[in-house]
Structure formats: structure tokens, C-alpha cells
Amino acid sequence: MSLNGKSWRDNVRFVTPYVPGEQPDGADIIKLNTNENPYPPAPAVASVLKDFDSGRLRKYPKPLCDGLRKALSDWFSIASENIFVGTGSDDVLALSFLTFFNSKERKPLLFPDVTYSFYDVWAELFGISYEAIPLRDDLSIDENDYIGRENGGIVIANPNAPTSLSMPLSAIERIVSENPSSVVIIDEAYVDFGGETALPLIEKYDNLLITRTFSKSMSLAGSRIGVALGSKELIKYLWDVRNSFNSYTMDSITQEIGVAALSDRDYFDETRKKIIETRERFSKELSALGFVFPESSSNFVFAKHPAIDAAVLFEDLKKEGIYVRHFKGERVKDHLRITIGLDREMERLLDFLKAYVSLNRR
């Protein structure tokens, strides 16, 4: 304590942090708790790791990630000037919050009350006023809640997490068009597994920003590659803010890995199809056990059982070496979010659940 009775702690920015999913170690673990892809990345990625010249690490990486942005330009058929990249979509989203949600009148940022739980963390961290808009009883988003409501910005995950539900493109366009004085961010982390991308709208609306990640459909959660797609003006402002505190966020190896992942669309389509097919088979059998859940547009299922306590089931699954995700929020505490893994992993989970349901009903 200082002489004037003050502590250095008086100057600390205290926040309640985001809590990531567990990363358990050990053999025979079935990890279905963080929506990772069960398949390896494109084969070309392994070639990059094998052949990379370590001598290049003495130099800084390309700050604007030119090669990766060119590959993304080809992948999405848009100009490189419409593309921003960062170290995971969390980094891209956090920068976007910092850049675009700076309402001088303290108008609130709008997002659903049940959604990616980093949104309110960033709002608190950056001192952004916000309002969490309740989902419908069926956990879907009502587009009308984002029309005619004063705001300083809007963020919607589509498909939404953890609910797995998606909105039609027409609803997204209505929200964007009806809020011309606000930046609308559509977080498309899971769009490759279902739903409609808003990508066709970025040339039509200069207030639309789309974020993507390589962590899910590209199988690169360990490399941290995130993307923003939008008007050239929006993208310029993102680069300006990024370069104001760190110009070299993505290392050289990661940039090349990203290019390699984008070089094999056939492999991407093949693994994505496998996950969707596994999801549909698993959903059918899960429903037969009495679990209820929305029709998923993502690589996970958000399920509950009317006769089983989700928190207890969550812990009992962990004892069996099966990790899923349980959230403690009032509206979601009866649900488990189950990532779609390999067929054999889902079969082992189903075998456990068949026995569990017959023995444990509340």
C-alpha cells in the first residue's frame, strides 16, 4: 500500500475472462468439447511443415500476409483489398469490436443473449455498451429484434453457437440494410457445415463485415488463422488498428500453412461432407434415445434430455473419458454441446448414452 492509501491494483482493468473448453491429455480420450475438426488438414499442410526453411524465421513475416490473402482471394473470388487476416477469428473479432463499436453516444452493441460467450467479454474489456437480445423460446434469432432498435453495432453468429441454428440470408440482409449507420458483423465460424453465407452481400452493403476461421472446416485450430471479409473501407480500418499495436501478428509458417490448406478444395469438400453425414446419423440415433435438439447447421449438436440432468451427465461422461461442453447459463444449463467427431467416437458415445439413459432418469 502506498503512502496515499492507493494500491497499484486501483489501476488494473478487471474483467471476467472467457473460459475455453478443456484440453485434456491422455490416451483413449474422446474430445468432443471444442468443435475441432476430427480430420487432419489438407495433405499439403504436412508438406509445408516438412520442407519449411527454418532460416527464414530470423526475418519478420510479411505483415499484410500477401500470399495468404491472395489464396483467400482466389478461394472466395473477391479482391485481396476486401480481406483481412489475423491470428484466429477471436483476434479478428476482438479487433473488429475495438475498431467499429466506438459509439460516441454510447449506443449499445446488440447481440443475442445466447451466443458465443466472448462477445460480452470483449464489450466489457473495451468499455462498449451492449444489450443482449433474448432468443425466441426455440433458441432461434428473431430478425425483428434488430430492426428499428437504436444501436452502435450488431454481432450475430450464423450459424449461432452454441445453439447450432442458422438464419436465412434474407433475414441477414434485412438486418444489414435496416441498420445503415451501424457496422453489422456476421460471424460465420460454422457456415461451411450448413446455412447460407452472407458473402454475396459485401459488394452491396459497405457496413457488413463477415468473419471466418480456419479452426473448424479447415482443421487448423492449432495454427490460429482468422479472416474478415468486407468493403475495402472496413478492411482498411481494421489494418489501421492492427498496425497501431502489432504489425507482425501471423508468423511465416502459419501463413504458408493457410495457403496450403486452401490449395485443395476437393479435400475440403470431402471432409466437410463426412462431418455432415456423421452429424445426421448421430442426430437420428440421439433423437431415438429421447434427446431433443434443434436441427444443426454446424459441426455440433446442442442437445438436452427431459429426464436427465445435463450437469450430472457431463461429469459422468468425463469419467468415461468423453469430453463434451456444458454451459451454466440459465437458458442453456439443461443442454450439452456435442462436437461431431469420427464415426467410431460418436458410436462409443452413443453406446454409453444408451446404457446411461436406461439407468439414469431424473
Domain ranges of the chain: 8-41+265-359, 43-261
Residue 34: is its pLDDT beyond 80? Answer: yes
Query: How confident is the model over 40-65, as a mean pLDDT?
Result: 96
Confidence band of 2 (pLDDT split at 50, 70, 90): low
d(CA 57, CA 251): 9
Confidence band of 350 (pLDDT split at 50, 70, 90): very high
Query: How confident is the model over 5-29, as a mean pLDDT?
Result: 86
Residue 362: is its pLDDT beyond 70? Answer: no
Domains 8-41+265-359 and 43-261 alike in fold? no
Query: How confident is the model over 349-357, as a mean pLDDT?
Result: 96
The CATH code of the domain at 43-261 is 3.40.640.10
What is residue 360's predicted lDDT score, i.e. its pLDDT?
A: 74
Confidence band of 19 (pLDDT split at 50, 70, 90): confident
Neighbours of 47 (CB within 10 A): 13
Confidence band of 80 (pLDDT split at 50, 70, 90): very high
* Parallel/antiparallel/unpaired status of strands 109-112 and 130-133: parallel
pTM of the model: 0.95
Residue 241: is its pLDDT beyond 60? Answer: yes
Cell reading at 282: 448421430
Q: Mean pLDDT across the chain, nearest whole number?
A: 95
Neighbours of 247 (CB within 10 A): 12
Q: What is the pLDDT of residues 283-326, one digit of tens each?
A: 999 999 999 999 999 999 999 999 999 999 999 999 999 999 99
What is residue 361's predicted lDDT score, i.e. its pLDDT?
A: 61
What is residue 3's predicted lDDT score, i.e. its pLDDT?
A: 64
Q: Are 220 and 88 in contact (CB under 8 A)?
A: no
Neighbours of 75 (CB within 10 A): 16
Has domain 8-41+265-359 been given CATH number 3.90.1150.10? yes
Residue 25: is its pLDDT beyond 90? Answer: no
Residue 151: is its pLDDT beyond 70? Answer: yes
Query: How confident is the model over 24-39, as a mean pLDDT?
Result: 93
d(CA 93, CA 71): 21
Residue 1: is its pLDDT beyond 70? Answer: no
What is residue 224's predicted lDDT score, i.e. its pLDDT?
A: 96
Query: How confident is the model over 209-220, as a mean pLDDT?
Result: 98
User: CB-based burial of residue 5 (10 Å sphere; 0-12 exposed, 13-18 middle, 19+ buried)?
Assistant: exposed
Q: What is the pLDDT of residues 259-271, one digit of tens each?
A: 999 999 999 999 9
Confidence band of 215 (pLDDT split at 50, 70, 90): very high
Confidence band of 14 (pLDDT split at 50, 70, 90): confident
